[in-house]
């Protein structure tokens, strides 16, 4: 029992954050107070704590392990540990044995926990209060043979691998965790030229640019009076700072600017102390698409403005204290920064900026620009070109959106630039299931960050590529336990994108400004859970503005129940779209939005005053009555639409290319030219060759 691993429970009131560690690792030393409490030696700081809330692992004794840990090194020296202060900081956790040249190097295991912790580490551990993993590790070449080195028993020192260890919460498959040893092998979206730590920005070929950006950022904060320097007091809770570096590029991958931002680590904030309200309204891509359609259909120019250091202009309602950042020549042991305005990273910064900006809004765009420029420093970009990674192209009679540059970067990132193309995102009638353990192990050896890959694909699907919605939704169901089968499906989507890189959304003007919606559901689509898939979309003047695919949260007994749930989700979104159109005076208040449904029984049940409180329908009573109430109010009208013509069919299942192309063509998802203009075609059909991108839809063919 003595010497076994122990975990000291941390009370919830003392935990740093909601998902923070609930315990501290240690080693049992002895009992106290009639065996009611225990003395535990903390591994992280070598302190002895007394607690009765302890859990023990009697199968794990750190002092009696036979095999060396990959994160330990042993230094043999007579009576003391070699000073680690002179070692190279670039070394990682390794195993080093320093012995006399006359003897053969060999690893000797320390016999007790006391020997592990009894080494006098001097100022390296205690004086500077540094973490063990921050101590530079020695190289064998850094030492010369010492006359006092003998065959005495070595002292073992533990060195933890990552400086910021990964906190893992929940029932997550370990194979999906990007461990410390696998990180160098994993693909990364960050450019190699972007420095991560602050010291790296002052070295390398781009050090001059980064130094100028750091000075520019600090100067702007001083000019905007973001903080006041105050004397540090013991009761001040400081928010930690960090530097974030970024290289901004346009859609042609040309570098536009280097940017360095001083950010606060919001996770170190405490609600009620330096944190108040945090909720801030934010825009959605659905709203952006509606605005672009409205501007394109009415010949209104769509301008874009970038406010320099936006958050630095927003005053804070509550007081927050900031630690002295790197690059600011102020003694961090005596002084701190009292924030007067928000900075990036604070949890309340978006709300502060929203309240600040709301006071300057007015109807005229020229007045907005003038007023903004008088109050803030802005960069007038003019006509919108690149918004949130989406390329906007203004042409005569239409506006197009695409993410071709992002697709090219994905293909390059995953080494699929020269791959063969396929016809559809997934093969028709594909149903993904959990992979076998052997295939999971095979996938783990790839060292790929599956969550990051699916997240990149998801941004494409919600931005300009609705044809990927079902495929991405299917792959997203295996984020916790991915396998090699799911990775192959992801590569299949990349092959599809290789053949359709210039496909995007086109919004035409001159047509009717009416809203139509399509609802569809696939009963029991998931073979693992037997849950159904909901898919719906809405068009504004024949142009796609709303699209979504999701797995339903519960199993449905009836096919009608599946349709009710899909209609309930769609009606909730349409209520927002209808309100938005009324605010912009695009729809008459008395106009009805048609909802196309292919289940006659579902339509009849909602339109007719029949008794639905029977045994079969009682469990869907709330969804059904919500839809019935909204339909009876006159806001929406359910109409029958044949199943073989349903435009939302590709959102719920994998379908063949002819059906997919027909739906996309009707929604304005077509191939764009080099500059984003619509390619002209002499036929109203798509080329169905797998290697050929989706072809065109001429704007004259749209009513």
Place of tokens 């600040």: 356
What secondary structure, in 3-state letters, does 169-201 show? Answer: CCCCCHHHCCCCCCHHHCCCCCCCCCCCCHHHH
The pLDDT of residue 488? 93
Going by C-alpha positions, the residue among 682, 658, 681 that lies closest to residue 671 is 681
Q: What is the pLDDT of residue 618?
A: 64
Share of the chain above pLDDT 70, in %: 70
Give the torsion sign (CA, 226, 231, 237, 240): positive
More confidently predicted of 372 and 227: 227
Q: Is the pLDDT of residue 165 over 70?
A: no
Residue among 392, 384, 388, 391 at smallest CA distance from 365: 384
List the structure tokens of 143.
């030492």
Q: Is the pLDDT of residue 16 over 50?
A: yes
Determine the pLDDT at residue 30.
82
With cut-offs at 50, 70 and 90, classify the pLDDT of residue 193: low
For residues 62 and 3, the answer to whether their CB atoms sit within 8 Å is yes
Instruction: Work out the average pLDDT over 691-696.
Output: 34
Q: How are beta strands 303-307 and 390-395 bridged, if at all?
A: unpaired
Helix axes 404-413, 484-499, angle to 10 degrees: 140
Q: What is the mean pLDDT of residues 612-634?
A: 74
- Nearest in space to 595 (alpha carbons), one of 619, 617, 621, 563: 563
Beta strands in 593-667 (DSSP E): 593-597, 636-640
When mean pLDDT is compared across 27-41, 169-183, 293-307, the lowest value belongs to 169-183
Q: Could you tell me what percent of the chain has a pLDDT over 90?
A: 19
Q: Is the pLDDT of residue 695 over 60?
A: no
Helix or strand or coil: residue 455?
helix
Which of 540, 649, 660, 657 lies closest to 591 in space, CA to CA? 540
Question: Between these two residues, 115 and 293, which has the higher pLDDT value?
Answer: 293
Instruction: Give me the pLDDT at residue 628, please.
Output: 86
Measured distance CA(429)–CA(448) in Å, rounded: 27
Q: What is each CA distance from 504 to 105, 235, 675, 701, in whole angstroms?
A: 64, 55, 12, 18
Q: How far apart are CA 453 and CA 458, in angstroms?
A: 9
Token pair for residue 276?
């108040």
CA distance linking residue 28 with residue 57, whole number of Å? 10
Which of these ranges, 15-19, 96-100, 500-504, has the smallest mean pLDDT?
96-100
Q: What is the mean pLDDT of the chain?
A: 74
What confidence score (pLDDT) does residue 473 get? 93
Q: What is the DSSP letter of 105?
A: -
Quote the pLDDT of residue 362.
61
pLDDT value at position 539?
92
Residue with tokens 């920005």: 201
- Report the range out of 83-87, 297-301, 365-369, 425-429 with the highest average pLDDT: 425-429
The mean pLDDT of 661-673, rounded to a whole number, is 88
Give me 458's structure tokens: 């998801």
d(CA 203, CA 423): 47
User: Predicted confidence band at 694 (pLDDT cuts at 50, 70, 90)?
Assistant: very low
Q: For residue range 379-407, list pLDDT tens digits in order.
A: 777 778 888 888 988 887 788 899 999 99
pTM higher than 0.75, yes or no?
Answer: no
CB 239 within 8 A of CB 274: yes
Tokens of 436: 């076998």
At a CB cut-off of 8 Å and minimum separation 6, what does 230 contact? 321, 335, 336, 337, 338
Compute the distance between CA of residue 230 and CA of residue 332 in angstroms, rounded to an integer. 11
**Residues found in the chain:** 703
Stated as kind and residue range, the H or E segment containing 7 is strand 5-9
Report whether pLDDT(96) > 50: no
State phi, psi for 338 to the nearest 5 degrees: -95, 115
pLDDT tens for each residue of 45-66: 778 888 888 888 877 877 665 4
pLDDT, residue 413, reads 92
User: Between vectors from CA 304 to CA 288 and to CA 217, what angle results, nearest 5°?
Assistant: 115
Residues 6+ apart with CB under 8 A from 584: 294
């Amino acid at each position: 029992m003595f010497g076994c691993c122990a975990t000291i429970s941390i009370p919830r009131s003392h935990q740093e954050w909601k998902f923070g560690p609930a315990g501290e690792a240690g080693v049992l030393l002895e009992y106290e107070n009639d065996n009611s409490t225990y003395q535990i030696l903390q591994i992280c700081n070598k302190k002895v704590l007394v607690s009765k809330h302890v859990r023990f692992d009697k199968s794990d004794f750190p002092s009696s392990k036979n095999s060396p840990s990959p994160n330990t090194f042993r230094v043999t020296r007579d009576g003391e540990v070699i000073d680690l202060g002179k070692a190279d900081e670039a070394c990682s956790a390794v195993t080093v044995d320093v012995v006399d040249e006359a003897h053969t190097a060999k690893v000797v295991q320390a016999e007790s926990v006391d020997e592990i912790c009894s080494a006098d580490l001097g100022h390296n551990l205690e004086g500077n209060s540094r973490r063990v993993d921050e101590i530079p590790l020695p190289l064998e070449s850094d030492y010369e043979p010492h006359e006092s080195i003998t065959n005495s028993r070595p002292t073992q020192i533990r060195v933890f691998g990552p400086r910021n260890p990964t906190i893992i919460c929940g029932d997550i498959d370990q194979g999906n965790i990007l461990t410390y040893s696998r990180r160098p092998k994993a693909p990364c979206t960050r450019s190699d030229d972007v420095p991560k730590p602050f010291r790296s920005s002052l070295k390398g070929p781009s050090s001059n640019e980064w130094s100028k950006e750091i000075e520019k950022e600090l100067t702007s904060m001083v000019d905007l009076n973001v903080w006041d320097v105050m004397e540090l007091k013991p009761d001040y809770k400081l928010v930690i700072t960090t530097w974030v570096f970024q290289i901004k590029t346009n859609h042609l991958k040309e570098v536009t600017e280097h940017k360095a931002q001083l950010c606060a680590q919001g996770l170190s904030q405490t609600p009620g102390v330096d944190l108040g309200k945090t909720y801030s309204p934010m825009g959605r891509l659905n709203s952006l698409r509606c605005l672009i359609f409205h501007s394109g259909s009415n010949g209104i120019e769509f301008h874009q403005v970038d406010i320099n250091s936006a958050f630095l202009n927003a005053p804070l309602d509550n007081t927050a204290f900031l630690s002295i950042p790197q690059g600011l020549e102020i003694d961090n042991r005596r002084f701190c920064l009292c924030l007067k305005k928000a900075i990036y990273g604070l949890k309340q910064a978006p709300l502060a900026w929203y309240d600040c900006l709301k006071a300057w809004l007015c109807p005229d765009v020229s007045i907005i620009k003038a007023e903004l420029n008088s109050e803030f420093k802005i960069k007038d970009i003019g006509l919108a070109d690149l918004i949130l990674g989406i390329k906007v192209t203004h042409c005569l009679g239409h506006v197009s959106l695409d993410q071709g540059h992002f697709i090219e970067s994905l293909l390059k990132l995953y080494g699929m630039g020269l791959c063969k193309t396929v016809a559809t995102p997934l093969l028709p009638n594909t149903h993904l299931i959990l992979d076998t353990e052997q295939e999971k192990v095979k996938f783990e050896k790839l060292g790929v960050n599956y969550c990051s890959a699916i997240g990149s694909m998801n941004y494409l699907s919600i931005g300009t590529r609705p044809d990927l919605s079902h495929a991405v939704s299917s792959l997203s169901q295996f984020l916790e336990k991915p396998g090699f089968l799911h990775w192959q499906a992801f590569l299949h989507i990349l092959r599809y994108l290789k053949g359709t890189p210039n496909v995007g959304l086109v919004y035409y003007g001159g047509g009717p400004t009416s809203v139509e919606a399509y609802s569809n559901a696939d009963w029991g689509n998931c073979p693992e859970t037997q849950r159904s898939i909901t898919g719906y979309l809405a068009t504004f003047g024949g142009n796609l503005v709303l699209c979504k695919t999701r797995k339903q949260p519960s199993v449905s007994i009836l096919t009608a129940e599946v349709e009710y749930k899909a209609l309930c989700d769609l009606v909730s979104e349409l209520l927002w779209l209808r309100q938005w159109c009324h605010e912009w005076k695009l729809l008459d208040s008395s106009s009805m939005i048609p909802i196309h449904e292919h289940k006659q029984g579902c339509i009849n049940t909602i339109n007719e005053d029949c008794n639905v409180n029977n045994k079969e329908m009682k469990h869907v009573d709330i969804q059904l009555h919500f839809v019935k109430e909204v339909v009876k109010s006159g806001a929406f009208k359910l109409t029958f639409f044949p199943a073989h013509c349903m435009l939302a069919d590709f959102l719920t299942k994998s379908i063949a290319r002819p059906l997919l192309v027909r739906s996309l063509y009707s929604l304005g998802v077509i191939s764009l030219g080099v500059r984003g203009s619509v390619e002209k075609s002499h036929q109203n059909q798509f080329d169905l060759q797998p290697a050929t991108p989706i072809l065109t839809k001429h704007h004259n063919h749209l009513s």
